[in-house]
């Protein structure tokens, strides 16, 4: 966990400009909604940071549709792949089968539930004082999310330039 925290802090330092821009936008917003500002960082590819709305994260992160959330929940609870597949197929039938077939050959990093959790985390950060911004990191093989205080960017703006 400490290693992940260190990696997150290093990313924050290397994306300082994007963080400042996103924090300024977030601080200007009066209420939370899915249009609330978040920051997506990627460790691969040419565009390594993107200021966006929380509700748009699903457009930029490969994810499973909601029809597979039950399967993901079972797997996270420790249920084996075959058993989770059988249970979902029995309970959800063709809906599950069609969703399962649609993802074959792809490697989604998050579920629809994860995207919802990111939105909840953003909402919690928005309500804090000082306000916190949602930062989502796509590492290429996994996705992590955390909150960063906008307070550090407000203090920076208030410091006189020499």
Apex 55 CA angle, 96 and 73, nearest 5? 35
pLDDT at 40: 94
* pLDDT averaged over every residue in the chain: 86
Contact (Cβ atoms closer than 8 angstroms) between residue 95 and residue 31: no
Residue-wise pLDDT tens digits, 75-90: 889 988 899 889 999 9
Q: Residue 51: name the closest of 138, 134, 112 by CA.
A: 134
Residue-wise pLDDT tens digits, 15-50: 888 999 999 999 999 999 999 999 999 887 666 889
Contact (Cβ atoms closer than 8 angstroms) between residue 149 and residue 130: yes
pTM for the structure as a whole = 0.79
């Amino acid at each position: 966990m400490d290693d992940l925290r260190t990696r997150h802090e290093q990313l924050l330092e290397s994306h300082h400009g994007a963080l400042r821009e996103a924090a300024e936008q977030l601080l200007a917003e009066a209420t939370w909604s899915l249009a609330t500002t978040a920051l997506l960082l990627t460790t691969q590819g040419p565009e390594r940071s993107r200021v966006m709305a929380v509700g748009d994260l699903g457009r930029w992160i490969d994810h499973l549709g909601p029809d597979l959330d039950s399967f993901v929940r079972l797997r996270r609870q420790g249920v084996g792949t075959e058993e989770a597949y059988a249970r979902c197929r029995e309970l959800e039938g063709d809906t599950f089968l069609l969703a399962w077939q649609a993802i074959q050959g792809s490697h989604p990093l998050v579920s629809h539930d994860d995207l919802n959790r990111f939105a909840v985390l953003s909402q919690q950060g928005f309500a804090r004082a000082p306000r916190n911004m949602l930062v989502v990191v796509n590492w290429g093989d996994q996705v992590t999310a955390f909150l960063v205080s906008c307070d550090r960017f407000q203090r920076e703006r208030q410091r006189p330039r020499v």
